[in-house]
Chain A
Amino acid sequence: EPEVTQTPSHQVTQMGQEVILRCVPISNHLYFYWYRQILGQKVEFLVSFYNNEISEKSEIFDDQFSVERPDGSNFTLKIRSTKLEDSAMYFCASSTSGGALTYNEQFFGPGTRLTVL
Chain B
Amino acid sequence: QKEVEQNSGPLSVPEGAIASLNCTYSDRGSQSFFWYRQYSGKSPELIMSIYSNGDKEDGRFTAQLNKASQYVSLLIRDSQPSDSATYLCAVNFRDRGSTLGRLYFGRGTQLTVWP
Q: Which of B34, B51, B88, B100 contacts A99 (CB 8 A)?
A: B100
Chain A residues near B106 (CB-CB < 8 A): 42
Within 8 A of A (CB), among B33-61: 34, 36, 42-46, 49, 51
Chain A residues near B69 (CB-CB < 8 A): none
B27 on the A face (CB < 8 A): no
Give the distance to chain A from B49, nearest Cβ to Cβ, in Å. Answer: 5
Give the distance to chain A from B51, nearest Cβ to Cβ, in Å. Answer: 6
Q: Which of B31, B46, B90, B98 contacts A107 (CB 8 A)?
A: B46
- A102-B100, A102-B101 known; A111 vs B46 contact (CB < 8 Å): no
Cβ-defined contact, B43 with A111, below 8 A: yes
Give the distance to chain B from A93, nearest Cβ to Cβ, in Å. Answer: 8
Cβ-defined contact, B51 with A35, below 8 A: no
A58 on the B face (CB < 8 A): yes
Cβ-defined contact, B43 with A108, below 8 A: yes
Cβ-defined contact, B44 with A108, below 8 A: yes
- The 13 listed contacts between A and B (C-beta, < 8 Å) are A33-B100, A42-B108, A43-B90, A48-B99, A50-B100, A98-B99, A98-B101, A104-B92, A104-B101, A105-B49, A106-B103, A107-B46, A110-B43
